Amino acid sequence: MVTTSPRMRALPPGRYRFWGVLRAEWTKIRTVRSTVWCVLATVVAGIGIGILASASEASRWRNGGVIDMVLFDPTSVSLTGLIFGQLAMGVLGVLTMSAEYGSGSIRATLAAIPRRPVVLGAKAVIFGGVALVVSEAVSFAAFFVGQAIMSGSAPTATLSDHVVLRAVIGGGLFLTVLGLFALGLATIIRHTAGSITTFVAILLILPLIDAAFPAKIGWPIARYLPAQIGAGMTSTKSVGNHVSFLPSFPFWHGFALLCAYAIGSLVVGGVLMVRRDP
């Protein structure tokens, strides 16, 4: 006669521990090549482009106009690369979900774990943890390298200023939450190309469309766009970053709005995930 261990009896049919689901998702995300390439792209773009921007500002600082000097934000300059790093982090967020739909392995996942909100929650937790560590590391590295390059040629910033520290931390938070937003989009759309296209359109195309409208119409809308929220979060100036004169929300207001976008996409994705077949 087959006996059942006390541990097995403790779990009713169809129930499983969330920790086990997290371990499964951690195994998935760390063993696929897309994770390595997306993380590498985030590092190269975030730090590399920040180096180029910092070197450019350092070389032309003395020849800049009065307005440029007044609005100069060394923190934002060194974090310029995050504008491009957000694309790589968004792609990773998309692939975390859409890759399973594309390969069909989502059926095996949901057969093993029928409770779909648990699957989505585990993916969000694991991806969010990886994205936060990578994004904060890139943000701080870009800041320190950028300030070192500009030192002696242009004004620099230090983390002793709480506004500067908040902006650097904000760069990592922005990439992380934006990646979770992309994960939610992928859950809704369930197709890699379509999800990435939608993400890029929201991030890059919408600001271009908004810029075509008159300022009295475009500016109030622009501050709600993720790209402008990110510019405000990584800036120490109230007018946005060093290349943007569009008004931005205060740091915490913008961050809360960005979190609302991410939560909204994940909730809608979770509801659709429950209602339809994989």
Mean pLDDT of 45-73: 82
pLDDT tens profile 207-238: 899 888 887 888 888 889 998 899 889 988 75
Residue 150: C-alpha distances to residues 62, 96, 164, 168, 270 (Å): 12, 37, 16, 17, 46
203 inside domain? yes
pLDDT at 240 over 90: no
Residue holding tokens 């087959």?
A: 2
- Cα 175 from Cα 56, distance rounded (Å): 24
pLDDT tens profile 12-30: 455 567 888 898 899 999 8
pLDDT tens profile 147-188: 999 888 888 889 988 899 999 999 999 999 999 999 999 999
239 inside domain? yes
Output the pLDDT for position 245.
Answer: 52
Q: What is the mean pLDDT of the chain?
A: 86
Full domain range(s) for residue 204: 16-275
153 inside domain? yes
Residue 249: C-alpha distances to residues 49, 101, 166, 208, 212 (Å): 25, 36, 14, 19, 21
Output the pLDDT for position 71.
Answer: 74
Output the pLDDT for position 67.
Answer: 67
Contact indicator for 126, 97 with CB cutoff of 8 Å: no
- Cα 221 from Cα 244, distance rounded (Å): 15
Domain count, the chain: 1
> How does residue 244 score in pLDDT terms, banded at 50, 70 and 90?
very low
Does the predicted TM-score (pTM) go above 0.75?
Answer: yes
8 inside domain? no
> How does residue 107 score in pLDDT terms, banded at 50, 70 and 90?
confident
Tell me which of 32 and 271 has the higher pLDDT: 271
Residue 33, burial from CB neighbour count under 10 angstroms (0-12, 13-18, 19+): exposed
CB contact burial 58-83 (16+ within 10 A = b; e otherwise)? beebeeeeeeeeebbbbbbbbbbbbb
pLDDT at 131 over 60: yes
Percentage with pLDDT > 70 across the chain: 88
Contact indicator for 210, 218 with CB cutoff of 8 Å: yes
Q: Which two tokens stand for residue 51?
A: 């180096």
